[in-house]
Amino acid sequence: MQEWANQLCENRQFGSKMTDSKYFTTTKKGEIFELKAELNSDKKEKKKEAVKKVIASMTVGKDVSALFPDVVNCMQTDNLELKKLVYLYLMNYAKSQPDMAIMAVNTFVKDCEDPNPLIRALAVRTMGCIRVDKITEYLCEPLRKCLKDEDPYVRKTAAVCVAKLHDINAQLVEDQGFLDTLKDLISDSNPMVVANAVAALSEIAESHPNSNLLDLNPQTINKLLTALNECTEWGQIFILDCLANYTPRDDRESQSICERVTPRLSHANSAVVLSAVKVLMKFMEMLPKDLDYYGTLLKKLAPPLVTLLSAEPELQYVALRNINLIVQRRPEILKHEMKVFFVKYNDPIYVKLEKLDIMIRLASQANIAQVLAELKEYATEVDVDFVRKAVRAIGRCAIKVEQSAERCVSTLLDLIQTKVNYVVQEAIVVIKDIFRKYPNKYESVIATLCENLDSLDEPEARAAMIWIVGEYAERIDNADELLESFLEGFHDESTQVQLQLLTAIVKLFLKKPTETQELVQQVLSLATQDSDNPDLRDRGYIYWRLLSTDPVAAKEVVLAEKPLISEETDLIEPTLLEELICHIGTLASVYHKPPSAFVEGSRGVQHKRLAGSSGSGESVESPDTGSAAGVSEAPPAVIPSQGDLLGDLLNLDLTPTTTGPPPPASTGMQMGAMDLLGGGLDSLMGDESEPPPIPLRTDTPQSPQLPHQSPSPPDYSPTELGGDLGGSPAMGAPFGAPPATMPASFNAPVSGGLDDLFDLAGGVGMPMGAYNPPKTLWLPAMKAKGLEISGTFVRRAGVIQMEMTLNNKAMSVMSDFAIQFNRNSFGLAPAGPLQILTPLSPNQSIEAALPLSTVGPVMKMEPLNNLQVAVKNNIDVFYFSCQYPISMLFVEDGKMERQVFLATWKDIPNDNESQFQIKDCHLNSDAASNKLQGSNIFTIAKRTVEGQDMLYQSMKLTNGIWVLAELRVQMGNPNYTISLKCRAPEVSQCVFQNYEMVLKN
């Protein structure tokens, strides 16, 4: 019965309609043998069915590589479908069967000369996809022919194949002259060939940023613009992306390109629209603002952006993220389009939140009434996240548009009356910001806020309320009772609330000392003795010390006038914004991060900048608020947002400093510098506004005394202040001071292990002079209104100098130069003013040497040796960043005693060891040692094991951190191996780069 049923099923299957799904349903044993037989069948149809089964098995993950020779035999066919299937199989298995893949080469070469252009293109495409070196050699001739094929379809396929081949073997492509042929294809008569040639050259140029492959000139640009009109949509995107990398010679050329790109704005494909917007945004920088065409272009940019918002939600989101960038750069484009950003009831939450952001950016005196009415409506929605953001938006509008502040505050008070918990809490947070923006204006609402004290359960809202009570304690009769109520559950509060409560009670004490003495003692005791949070403890001790030594100074510090808060705390910093504008329409514009931040192993991600941008912080305010004041005018003090790396630079006082020697390092600053590496880089990311910790004196023998110490403060035992402060004495004391004497434990003889390394003489020849890198271009004239700065860093006789050449390429005289650095990883700062005593005339250049100190403020940079600089002259303020070689920070007393080296090497955890390869270095060990000693990298010992020289070296950074190295040099081998050990492994990469630079130059 069962057999009969099976047979019936088989018959039914056999008689059913033939579909490709049947290839995936077979579960027979011995299937490979059957397929083998079918593949060698004489019947073409049977052969094709067999290849389909093989591809189906391959697709579901079965290993059918054993059929390789049989499948390859099927290549000899005129049937295009069968040939495609065989090529698909080849691409999949060629890498695992390279020797077998060679069998297919003859067929490939033959197919490249087939009369059918589809087969010629298929053959060259497949050969490019087979990443096997042996096949690559045979690909050259067929590819050369296909690049000059009469059929454009074959030429466009061959163009992409060059990029694939370059990825496999770049040298081969260059030697065979394919890159020149590819450049010639840009002049091809067929627009799709041009587009693919541009795409291939762009791809190759990205992996080799310095190759200058896409040598764009007006003639080439003209050819690309001609091809643009006739390309497919993806071809247009390739060409537009290429155009975006071109820098026009003048505003006339810029206008001409804009006029020819503008029709792309009406394309149906949103990717083409965004690519066109990118080109126009970039070239607009070159156009004078008073030009009629400039205004026309602004008007033309708005409709396509608005149209993108009628697509499906996912596309809307991408469009909104891009619009967010555009609005920050040029708010005038969409200033009349506020209504399209109003939220619809059926928008997904991610679209709603993005629209809210843009609404605030476009808010101005002209449309604020409309915006507020919308936001009030949103605050009554059911979506909690959206409501929270809407309430915050009302506060941001109040801060941005001063005329609307009163209306915003009354709207917030109405929302507080709703008694909806999360609405009340968000409202209190934003009202705190409004108080800071407009002091002594809206304090009448404090009574209403205090009524809602009991309902606050979120840390941010509680902290905001405590700040309000502390700041306006003199106006609140029962301020002490309110703060005491928070104090009852002090240890259960979050750190944010605890810190705010500590500060608020100290403020209250300074305003009402007689009534609150007990309260302040209670909070200081809780913060310093009962808390294990170092931030809270440090702040508590600072207040305690201030109050006990100088109450007048305490009053000046704690009750000092607060700086105004800025209106746009979430603006992207200008240099990053410029780069993101150059990446409109890509993932970078959605993430709001540069490609290097999320593309792993990005071989040569280039940092792009806008063409005519001067870096002068062009007005990004709403046009209705009038033109922004220039940077040279004194702006109101603003607190930069926490994530803003250039925030400090944008608000620097760039008046020349008084001449004189650099001030001695204060203990606080030394501690700040040591924090950078003594305990990892964590502390840098904390609250920068807090003062540095109080210098402490401990009686443990390992903790060296600090130089320049102030009269001894009261003794605190280490346990009282949080126990061991970490850091090995040999690696620099925890507070950055060099040890006065080496601790006993390091001078004691160390037995076993590495002892025998150091039984050799330590003489390693005379040192050579230090290597100083050549000057590089730091600030191009195009970005600095004609000022060009190139420079380098040198260390001479223990003094670090920044040597610069300033070149005036503008038409006007430049004078009044000043310079300032942002906070950086090692506290580098100018030790005096920039000495340029005579005005710089047009086409004149001048050399300047700026001595640097290492006692400036510290903040971790990425990379560690990055330095952000602001230069001011009579024209404007300009910003640039450069990287200094870390050897500038290697001090002259960096040679460690041998026994100390031994003990320290053992003491540093193995996890902190990094190993690197220095390739193509043809020095022997003595020459290398002498060269390195010129850069204060000292060889402590050398030994030879089996023809390999091992150099043991030490170097010490200006902040007291030691780096230990083992350099292995094999006779006749140009590749060195270096192992680095350091308490702060973050430094190792920079030190390795320095080794490479010194040894190879």
pLDDT digits (tens, 9 = 90+) for 388-447: 889 988 888 888 888 888 888 888 888 888 888 888 888 888 888 888 888 878 878 888
Q: Is the pLDDT of residue 869 over 60?
A: yes
Burial class for 592, CB neighbours closer than 10 Å (0-12, 13-18, 19+): middle
Q: In this structure, are strands 787-796 and 948-956 parallel, antiparallel, or unpaired?
A: unpaired
Beta bridge partners of 807: 788, 845
Residues 828, 816 contacting (CB under 8 angstroms):
no
| Residues counted in the chain | 1001
Question: What are the phi and psi torsion angles at 347 (to 5°)?
Answer: -70, 140
pLDDT at 672 over 90: no
Decide the pairing of beta strands 829-830 and 913-918: unpaired
- Paired with 967 in beta bridges are 951, 978
pLDDT of residue 505: 92
Q: What is the structure's pLDDT at 751?
A: 37
- Reduced to 3 states (helix: H, G, I; strand: E, B; else coil), residue 377 is helix
Q: List, in sequence order, every residue forming a beta bridge with 803; answer none if it has no partner.
A: 792, 849
Q: What is the pLDDT of residue 622?
A: 40
| The pair of three-digit structure tokens given for residue 179, joined into one six-digit string | 């890159």
pLDDT tens track for 483-494: 888 888 888 888
> How far is residue 572's CA from residue 581's CA, in Å, rounded to a whole number?
11
Closest CA to 611 of 281, 242, 202: 281
pLDDT-based confidence at residue 25 (cuts at 50, 70, 90): low
3-state secondary structure 707-725: CCCCCCCCCCCCCCCCCCC
Task: Assign 279 a pLDDT band (cuts: 50, 70, 90).
Answer: very high
Q: How far is CA 145 from CA 149, 150, 558, in A?
A: 6, 10, 79
Residue 24 confidence (pLDDT): 54
- For residue 614, what is the DSSP state? -
Q: How far apart are the first and last CA of the chain?
A: 87
Nearest CA among 387, 386, 463 for reference residue 429: 463
Burial of 923 (0-12, 13-18, 19+ CB in 10 A): middle
Return phi, psi of residue 800, to 5°: -85, 135
Q: Which residue has 């003794």 as its token pair?
A: 715
This prediction has a pTM of 0.57
pLDDT value of residue 606: 61
pLDDT at 571: 78
Residue 520: strand pairing partners:
none
Given this model, what pLDDT does residue 717 score? 34
Q: Is the CB of residue 288 less than 8 Å from the CB of residue 252?
A: no
| Residues sharing a CB contact under 8 Å with residue 313, sequence separation 6 or more, in sequence order | 347, 348, 350, 351
Token digits for 672? 């700040």
Report the run of H or E that residue 155 belongs to, with start and end.
helix 152-168
DSSP 565: B
DSSP code at position 583: T
pLDDT of residue 58 exceeding 60, the answer is yes
Say if residue 323's pLDDT is above 90.
yes
Q: Are 777 and 788 in contact (CB under 8 A)?
A: yes
| Residues 868, 828 contacting (CB under 8 angstroms) | no
Greater confidence, 861 or 735? 861
Is the Cβ–Cβ distance between 221 and 229 less than 8 Å? no
Indicate the pLDDT class of residue 561, thresholds 50, 70 and 90: confident
| Cis peptide bond prior to 640, omega within 30° of 0 | no
- Cβ atoms 482, 450 nearer than 8 A: yes
Q: Say what the pLDDT of residue 491 is.
A: 84
The span from the CA of 868 to the CA of 861, in Å, is: 9
Token pair in block for residue 521: 């003692």
CB 524 within 8 A of CB 538: no
Report, in angstroms and rounded to the nearest whole number, the Rg of the chain calculated over CA atoms: 35
Paired residues of 788 in beta bridges: 807
Is residue 10 scored above 50 in pLDDT? no
| Angstrom distance (rounded) from CA 371 to CA 375 | 6
pLDDT in tens, 953-988: 999 998 888 999 999 888 778 888 899 999 888 888
Please tell me the predicted confidence (pLDDT) of residue 725. 31
Check residue 793 and give its pLDDT: 93
Question: Residue 944, SS3?
Answer: strand
Tokens of 608: 């792009």
Measure CA 45 to chain center.
Answer: 57
pLDDT in tens, 576-635: 888 898 899 899 999 998 888 888 755 545 667 676 544 334 433 343 433 333 333 333
What whole-number distance in Å separates Cα of residue 194 and Cα of residue 238?
10
Model pLDDT, residue 819: 92
What sign for the dihedral angle of Cα 810, 851, 790, 879?
A: negative
In the Cβ-directed half-sphere of 301, how many Cα atoms lie within 13 Å? 29
- Cα(767)–Cα(997) distance, integer angstroms: 17
Question: What's the mean pLDDT in 500-504?
Answer: 92
Euclidean distance between CA atoms 867 and 957, whole angstroms? 17
Structure tokens, 615: 């870096």
Q: What is the mean pLDDT of the chain?
A: 77
- The enclosing H or E element of 593 equals none
Q: Which amino acid, residue 538? A: D
Residue 277 — very low, low, confident or very high, per pLDDT cuts 50/70/90?
Answer: very high
User: How confident is residue 232, by pLDDT bands cut at 50, 70 and 90?
Assistant: confident
Distances (CA, A) of 503 to 306, 474, 542: 48, 15, 11
* Chain segment 912-967, per-residue pLDDT in tens: 888 888 888 888 888 888 888 888 899 999 888 887 888 999 999 988 889 999 99
856 secondary structure, DSSP code:
S
Question: 799-808 and 787-796 as β-strands: parallel, antiparallel, unpaired?
Answer: antiparallel
**What average pLDDT does range 64-81 have in this prediction?**
79
